[in-house]
Structure 1
Amino acid sequence: MQVENAIRDKLTAALAPELLWLENESDRHSGPPGRESHFKVTLVSAAFSGLSPVKRHQRVYTILAQEKAGPVHALAMHLYTPDEWQKRGEARPDSPNCRGGS
């Protein structure tokens, strides 16, 4: 859980989220068990106010540049302001099933 903890710590320090769900979805993809390569982030932060979805993603990619350059192969991001999250009904988005690998 070293990578997972690093992701959680960096996002928390940089974005002060009201809500952060970090899910390691690596076992839903091909490869050896116990790896940390595929993650889903659902994050609600006032830091996203006034930012387009692209700018939000770019900000997270900058924060997690070291992880993306190394062990993290895929990062699904669902990024909301508190108002957007409330309007959404506070439901976490589902991940699609993996189509690759065996």
Structure 2
Amino acid sequence: MNAEQLRLAENKPHPEPWHFWGPYLAERAWGTVREDYSANGDAWNYFPHDHARSRAYRWNEDGIGGISDYKGRLCLAFAFWNERDPFLKERIFGVSGPEGNHGEDVKEL
């Protein structure tokens, strides 16, 4: 067994699985290869950030400062409202690769 397997084996006798909850929720899922269902394989341009709040993701979820169980079945994250926009901020706004200078730039204030 390697060191990681030994560490996980040591947890087995404990009734509370310490690793059940954790920061397993990504800050970004939109525009990634995992969620690309475009005909031409262009994940960056498949759908913009504005469409992200209306999509149900198939392979992962995202959120601001989120946590989830280790299988990603229950995800919890913060949502914010700036009192100007007609929707809650559920994810950090970013630009896609072609829009940014060096990949993604965060544009929230």
> TM > 0.5 between the two?
no
Higher strand share: 1
Higher helix share: 1
Compare relative contact order (CA 8 Å, sep 6+) and give the higher one, 1 or 2: 1
Interval containing the TM-score (normalised by the shorter chain): 0.3 to 0.5
